[in-house]
Structure 1
């Protein structure tokens, strides 16, 4: 079979060129050693993120920066066990009552709305 360009191969197979990827390169030996260290630290201290993990690896004798540790942690699928943003939101499908309706209840049916919009005589209990 003659050498066909990737473009022509994709045309023949009716694939888009953006869907064709080159094979991933092999992981270097020093990266494997770092990944083993990251994995051991994560098992021992699962709440450490990339910053603290970098300090621990440098103390253990590995010369590594935070970006490299982040990339390796991302490759391994390791994330720190910390509270994530959005944990205080309510579940979907639950109803909520606005705080203004819960905190201030009108003593009479004629008074409705916010307390700042009512005449002062009504708030004081007087007549108009």
Structure 2
């Protein structure tokens, strides 16, 4: 497409005509030899066997098998592989059906003058 050794057009003019930046022409992708492949295979084995393990336990298992690896490296590789430990989510919005529901006593009451309506909040749970 673009030719560095073209006698008629410079690289600058070629990039202008093709509407691409010159940096993309000069960029050479780096081939990094992936030494993480064996570790990723091992992480996949561990995760397949124990999907509830997070990065801490996976790192502990890897260290037990002789790998020297940091927590950040395990996190990075798990993110790259699309893995995350399975765990239950928060259960904060489910109410306790054993507790009574108190009615709202001010429904329909309008605050007519200052100090007409007072409120207090006592948040505690009684021992069962």
- The TM-score with structure 1 as length reference comes to 0.55
The CA deviation string for residues 19-41 of structure 1, in whole angstroms up to 9 with x for no partner, is 99864644423x11100110000
Taking the aligned partners of 1:103 and 1:13, their CA distance within structure 2 comes to 72
> What root-mean-square deviation, in Å, do the aligned CA atoms of Structure 1 and Structure 2 show?
3.9
Q: 2-side partners of 1:34 and 1:65: how far apart?
A: 12
Partner of 1:104: 103
**What is the correspondence of 1:1-128 to structure 2 with a 5 Å cutoff?**
1-2=3-4, 4=11, 9=15, 11-15=16-20, 23=29, 25-29=31-35, 31-84=36-89, 103-106=102-105, 112=109, 117=117
Q: TM-score, normalising length from structure 2?
A: 0.55
Aligned pair count reads 99
Return the structure number with greater helix share. Answer: 1
Gaps of 5+ in 2: 6-10, 95-100, 119-128
Return the offset for 1:105: 4.6
